Amino acid sequence: MQFDLSKAKDGILLVDKPVGWTSFDVCAKIRGQIRAEYRARDEKPTKRQLKVGHAGTLDPFATGLLIILLGEATSRAGEFSKLDKEYEATIHLGKTSTTGDLEGEMTNVSNRQPSETEVQAALKQFTGEITQIPPAYSAIKINGQRAYKLAREGKEVEVPARKVTIHSIELIEYSYPEIKIRTNVSSGTYIRTLAQDIGAFLGVGGYCKELRRISIGDRVL
DSSP-derived pairing of the beta strands 63-70 and 206-216: parallel
Q: Which of 25, 59, 84, 197 is catalytic?
A: 59
User: Which residues does residue 169 pair with via DSSP β-bridges, in sequence order?
Assistant: 183
Whether 59 sits among the annotated catalytic residues: the reply is: yes
Q: Residue 15: name the closest of 54, 52, 66 by CA.
A: 66
Beta-strand runs (E) in 76-189: 85-93, 95-97, 106-108, 128-132, 141-142, 145-146, 162-175, 178-185
DSSP assignments along 49-96, one per residue: TT-EEESS---TT-EEEEEEEEGGGGGGHHHHHTS-EEEEEEEEESEE
Who's near 71: CB < 8 A, 6+ residues apart?
11, 48, 49, 51
What whole-number distance in Å separates Cα of residue 143 and Cα of residue 13? 33
Active site residues: 59
